[in-house]
Amino acid sequence: MAYEDQTFSRSGPSHLTAVDWSNLNHKRSVLASLVQGVYTLQHDQRHNRKYPYALAHPWWDSFNFQVYQRLVDNNDGSIFGVVFRLLSSCHQTGGPPQYVIAFRGTIMKPENWEEDVKLNVKVVLNRIQKSNRFRTALEAATQAIQIEHKCVWLVGHSLGSSLALAVGREIVKKFKVRLETYLFNPPFISLPIERIKNNKVKTGIRYLTSFVTAGLTQLTAAAAVAVTTETSKKDYFAMLSTWVPYVFINRADPICSEYAGYFKNRESMEAIGAGKIVRIATKRSVLSMFSSHEPLHLLPCAHITLNVTAATRFKEAHGICKEWLKFKEAHGIDQWWRRDLKVECKQYQYK
């Protein structure tokens, strides 16, 4: 990321001088800025930038937050998250959070890429709970909710969204506390069916996948009856149904675009009377059937925000460069505080 992208006065939402926390547009802009602050804090550390040359602090100072705790990876010493604390609610209305725990995504730099890529692999294999970052993040969240659980929010981007999602789910399970959670471009571990332009083909693939998943789930469940433990009998998916994370996606981003199709498929299958099938299939992925871990990316409920703003950065580019710029814009955290952002929102409930 170039220095100008890390500079709040040049690329941040500096126009947002008074925050209304009841306004989703304001919340989205501020929370995305806090995540950018985590990215920039790691870049400051990498380049040994100290105050007044450090670039990170305006990303939270501008909204009256301070760094309460840095979350550091035990293996490479990188900053992967920050616990922010609100200093006061002056110039802010609508019930602001007292603590925001923010997680950055992958940084492909020499000091970071190895541990970040390892964690991405764990996300794909549904084993992020086995990482030291998850344990560190969960401990920080647990400490925060012991202080003020009603005002602790989770937020992440990309890989950081998977971490926020894993922590939020675990907090629900362990403490029955549902933290307000914001997930920017969260990875959906599936083929990007949403990118298929033919709607009939796209719908057909989703229906077929749901029926196959439901059938395999029933077979594996029957085979596992003899070894089922009391813990595994619990329907954690249903338990999570009162927790509604905010999920921000871009249809042009293959990493997160399938969230749109996942929820639409549930809705359309309910409409044709295949509710029982979809209620089984919506909890499981084919990959998760070969793992003892639940698929973290599958959610019972979510408030989906879809970015429908026209892309702008690749009109003069060609070939591989054009595709890279399209992906960078569709997956970037900076899209979520754009003043010209146009979105479509819908909340999905699990029946």
Instruction: Kindly report, residue by residue over 147-187, the tens digit of the pLDDT.
Output: 876 799 999 999 999 999 999 999 999 999 999 999 999 99
Place of tokens 């892309």: 311
Indicate the range of 189-193, 296-300, 301-305, 336-340 predicted with least confidence.
Answer: 189-193
205 within 8 A of 176, measured Cβ to Cβ: no
Output the pLDDT for position 212: 59
**pTM for this entry:** 0.88
Residue-wise pLDDT for 81-104, tens only, equals 999 999 976 567 668 999 999 999
Question: Per the omega criterion (within 30 degrees of 0), is the bond before 187 cis?
Answer: no
Q: Count CB-CB contacts under 10 A for residue 87.
A: 12
pLDDT at 231 over 50: no
Measured CA to CA in angstroms, residue 228 lies from 19, 173, 216, 239, 240 at distances of 50, 19, 17, 19, 21
pLDDT at 274 over 70: no
Percentage of the chain beyond pLDDT 70 is 79
The values of phi and psi at residue 56, to 5°, are -75, -40
Output the pLDDT for position 299: 93
Output the pLDDT for position 129: 94
Output the pLDDT for position 217: 57
Bridge partner residues of 345 (DSSP): 305
Read off the pLDDT of each residue in 177-204 and give the average, rounded to a whole number: 83
Alpha-carbon span 264 to 260, nearest angstrom? 6
121 vs 191: which has the higher pLDDT: 121
Alpha-carbon span 137 to 81, nearest angstrom? 8
Confidence of residue 76 (pLDDT cuts 50, 70, 90): very high
